[in-house]
Amino acid sequence: MSATTTDRRVALVTGGGSGLGSAIVRALHGAGYRVAVADIDEAAARDVAAGLDASGGTALGLALDVREKAAFERALALLVARWGSAQVLVNNAAMTVARPVMEISPEEFDAVVAVNLRGTFLGCQVFGAHFRDRGHGRIVNMASLAGQNGGTATGAHYAASKGGIVTLTKVFARDLGRAGVTVNAIAPGPLDTPMVHRTVPPERLAALKEGIPVGEIGDPAFVASLVVQLASPEAAFATGATWDVNGGLYLR
């Protein structure tokens, strides 16, 4: 996508301060977007944004707690005030806890679901309404292989929340489609990110790769490029889908 400084599309990426989120931010910015890097860690978000554009003209970092609807509303208002509107939302923020299912406390279950599922719901609701009222928008939700196969290295709360994201994606796609808004999910398998390396100890990583049909974990840059494709104006006929990037671990 080519764009001038006056017609750049605007995207917000939650959890954009590190890992896959920062890869998505870089890919969108490289494709010509103005990008808001949103993260509960404001310093990390600002660092990523400054690395792309220290002047703040095409990238800005901001604090956003995805559990709060008002936080999404404030972020959207900031984008409208600064850049006139927004066309793309990437719901990427996630909380990952690896724990055996029988050891998960109710409080921990609620905490994981609040970030992953509630956060995605609120983002879709707030930005979806803005997109609907303007007749155009793209929402990309980050699901996971864990939400499709029940997870192997992650907790049941993480897997359940990611499965819920797949369902929410369908609901919002159906509701917003007539308004020119598409909603898709991407379900990655294990990627070469800090989160995966924290969750899977080095002694288990080789065995994990052995079990993947392609023999390797995934490249976050490819997932980021898929986000760019689904975010484009040309992606009008792709909606309500979950796009698998899992090295053949889940075939359907």
Domain holding 177, by residue range, is 10-245
Q: How far apart are CA 189 and CA 20, in angstroms?
A: 12
Report pLDDT digits (tens) over 166-190.
999 999 999 999 999 999 999 999 9
Give the pLDDT confidence of 18-32 residue by residue, as tens digits: 999 999 999 999 999
In angstroms, what CA-CA distances link 239 with 85, 169, 173, 183, 222? 22, 9, 6, 5, 20
| Angstrom distance (rounded) from CA 228 to CA 140 | 9
Query: Which two tokens mark 248?
Result: 């053949």
Catalytic machinery residues: 158
Average pLDDT of the residues in 61-84: 98
What is the pLDDT, as a whole number, of residue 83? 97
Domain annotation covers residue 59 = yes
In this prediction, residue 5 has a pLDDT band, given cuts at 50, 70 and 90, of very low
Average the pLDDT over 115-123 and give the result: 98
Count of structural domains, the chain:
1
What contacts 96, CB < 8 A, 6 or more positions away? 112, 154, 155, 158, 195, 198, 199
Rounded CA-CA distance 24/75 in Å is 18
Note whether residue 235 is domain-resident.
Answer: yes
Q: Is residue 27 part of a domain?
A: yes
Task: Name the band, by pLDDT with cuts 50, 70 and 90, for residue 205.
Answer: confident
Concatenating the DSSP letter of every residue in 117-137 gives IIHHHHHHHHHHHHHHHHT-E
Write down the pTM of the prediction. Answer: 0.94
Task: Indicate whether 63 belongs to any domain.
Answer: yes
**Quick check: is 1 in a domain?**
no
- Ranges assigned E (strand) in 144-238: 181-188
In a domain, 252, yes or no: no
Q: Which amino acid is at 130?
A: H
| pLDDT for 21 | 98
Check which CATH number belongs to the domain holding 219 and give it: 3.40.50.720
**Distances from the Cα of 116 to the Cαs of 88, 129, 160, 167, 227, in angstroms?**
19, 20, 10, 13, 18
Tens of pLDDT, residue by residue over 120-150, are 999 999 999 999 999 999 999 999 999 999 9
Answer whether residue 5 is part of any domain: no
Q: Is residue 4 part of a domain?
A: no
